[in-house]
Structure 1
Amino acid sequence: MNLKIYNEKIRLLDPICLPIFKKNGSTGVLLIHGFTGSPHDMNYLADRLYQSGFTVSVPRLPGHGTSHKDFLNSKWKDWLRRSIDAYIDLTIHCDKIYVVGLSMGALLATIVAARFKSPKLVLAAPAFQVTDKRLPLTPLMSLFVSYTRKEPPNFEDASLNKLAQEYWNKIFIKPAAQLYRLQRTAIEHLEMVQSETLVIVTQKDNSVPMSVLDIIRSRLKNQFKTVVLEKSAHPVTNDIEKELVAEKILEFFAQ
């Protein structure tokens, strides 16, 4: 990308979409947001981890937080490359690095943790399985349509409304096909994970079913710890039980 265009995109980024990096202790935590999300989804957890002595990094994945046109031009390997780069950047500052991923970010976190043998891995609402049965069809559907429109949610926060108009008023077929490819790759990498693993799921998740635990159980060689939430919707790191999620992750890291 032309440097001038890149700088202009960064200038136009809403502050809630900016990457987060906070240096504290010698243990780092890489936090990876989800599909159509942004670093904002990890902001509360990043603050809690930083206050508890961790160095934290929340990269903004390519195509996210800017515009739906950027999103349509991004691919799963772009998202993975940014996640890997953020992990490598943390190695400059930290002796060891834990990885946390939300939804699609959990797929990326799995691949990163497997490749770098991260000591600890947290999979929050991990999208190894989704409730939308059309996902396997998206590689074919994407040949004919990039997205379809839907009614966007409405927020009091102007920044969230801006994101809603770009990302949450559409069903993205082309990027969903990339998500499906990433999903297949991440499931294969589950067998390579050596990390101690914490899986967080919620009973009210409309995107990822509870049966995702069966996929993880069948592929992951090590036993894993599970937290089952009762009130949260899909974005568990930024929803009604975010305090509990942060506490459970901090407990897991302290063990």
Structure 2
Amino acid sequence: MIGCLCIHGFTGAPYEVQPLADYLSERTSWKIVVPTLPGHGEPPALKGVTYKQWLDCAEKEMQELATECDTVYVIGFSMGGLIAVYLAKKYSVEKLILLSAAAKYIYVGQLLRDLKDIAGDWKRGRLRENELFARYKRKLFSTPLSSVFQFRRVAASVKPLFATIQIPTLIVQGLADGIVPPKSAEYIYQHIASKEKELYYVPDAKHHVCLTGDTEGLFEKIFTFLTESSKVN
């Protein structure tokens, strides 16, 4: 049996990866797990939650999945991508998918373009209709500074692990992402040790790559990557 663990991002919730999980579920008989990390969900309650609690939660889900499945894939979005790398280092993971993985963060150029779009909608009286503004606003007012520090602890602890990852890895990056810049995906591609690795760009996707841009093409790419035989012995 094949298992697939999908991990959402910092301040987020399963909705960030759920469309991909649903796509895979409709086409396979895999056991697909999409946990909610401690302090996350709708609404998030991150105060006092540590990065170790996030890692421990992901490890528990990984361990449970490994007891039921012969093969396990791990998919991680944003901070969840970093946690996915952590799991791939410690456990027997067959393939790894990194979506907008936050090895580096805040793409100033795209963020300014996003803010310009938000300002335009504000002038036109359509600010409430701007989904990106709603996400930024919610995250800004619900994220304690201590949690940002915990996120940075995850990033710092995982970066040295890229050089230890030997399994097939697909690195996905939206080119209209204002949170994680394309150089993050390039950094991961350059530093990950796997001989079978691929960098896949989604031109119009913002940070939530499973919710924006060409999601159908992206999901098809991921499905193919997971189901095709490994090219490296």
Q: 1:227 aligns with which of 200, 203, 220?
A: 200
Q: 2:211 aligns with which of 212, 229, 238?
A: 238
Distance 1:132 1:73, change over 3 A: farther
Q: Is the 8 A contact 1:102 1:125 kept in 2?
A: yes
- 1:109 aligns with 84
**Alignment TM-score, normalising by the size of structure 1:** 0.74
**Structure 1, residues 188-230: CA drift from partner, whole Å, max 9, x if none?**
1112212100000011010111111332134211241111011
1:86 equivalent to 2:61? Answer yes
Q: 1:130 aligns with which of 105, 126, 150?
A: 105
**Alignment TM-score, normalising by the size of structure 2:** 0.81
Separation (CA, whole Å) in 1 of partners of 2:17 and 2:105 = 21
**Structure 1, residues 147-166: CA drift from partner, whole Å, max 9, x if none?**
xxxxxx84699xxx7x8876
Q: Is the 8 A contact 1:91 1:97 kept in 2?
A: yes
Give how far 1:66 is off. 4.8
Of all paired residues, the percent bearing the same amino acid is 27
Instruction: List runs of 5+ in structure 2 lacking aligned partners.
Output: 109-126, 229-233
1:207 equivalent to 2:195? Answer no
Separation (CA, whole Å) in 1 of partners of 2:130 and 2:206 = 19
Q: Is the 8 A contact 2:107 2:178 kept in 1?
A: no
AA partner of residue 245 (structure 1): L
- 2:117 aligns with none
Q: 2:39 aligns with which of 57, 63, 80?
A: 63
Give how far 1:237 is off. 1.4
Separation (CA, whole Å) in 2 of partners of 1:33 and 1:231 = 20
Provide the alpha-carbon RMSD of the alignment: 2.4
Distance 1:98 1:207, change over 3 A: same
Runs of 4+ in 1 over 3 A off after TM superposition: 153-157, 163-172
Bigger CA drift: 211-220 or 89-98?
211-220
Q: How many residues align?
A: 207
Bigger CA drift: 166-175 or 30-39?
166-175
Separation (CA, whole Å) in 2 of partners of 1:73 and 1:66 = 17
Give how far 1:168 is off. 4.7
Q: Secondary structure at the match of 2:201?
A: strand
Distance 1:166 1:208, change over 3 A: closer
Q: Is the 8 A contact 1:114 1:192 kept in 2?
A: yes
Bigger CA drift: 119-128 or 87-96?
87-96
1:34 equivalent to 2:9? Answer yes
**Structure 1, residues 71-129: CA drift from partner, whole Å, max 9, x if none?**
12111111111111111111232111000000000000000011113110000001000
Give how far 1:170 is off. 4.5
Instruction: List runs of 5+ in structure 1 lacking aligned partners.
Output: 1-25, 134-152
Q: Secondary structure at the match of 1:222?
A: coil
Q: Is the 8 A contact 1:191 1:221 kept in 2?
A: yes
AA partner of residue 123 (structure 1): L
- 2:121 aligns with none
- 1:138 aligns with none
Q: Is the 8 A contact 1:84 1:112 kept in 2?
A: yes
Q: Secondary structure at the match of 1:130?
A: coil
Separation (CA, whole Å) in 2 of partners of 1:229 and 1:62 = 30
- 1:249 aligns with 222
Q: Is the 8 A contact 2:7 2:77 kept in 1?
A: yes
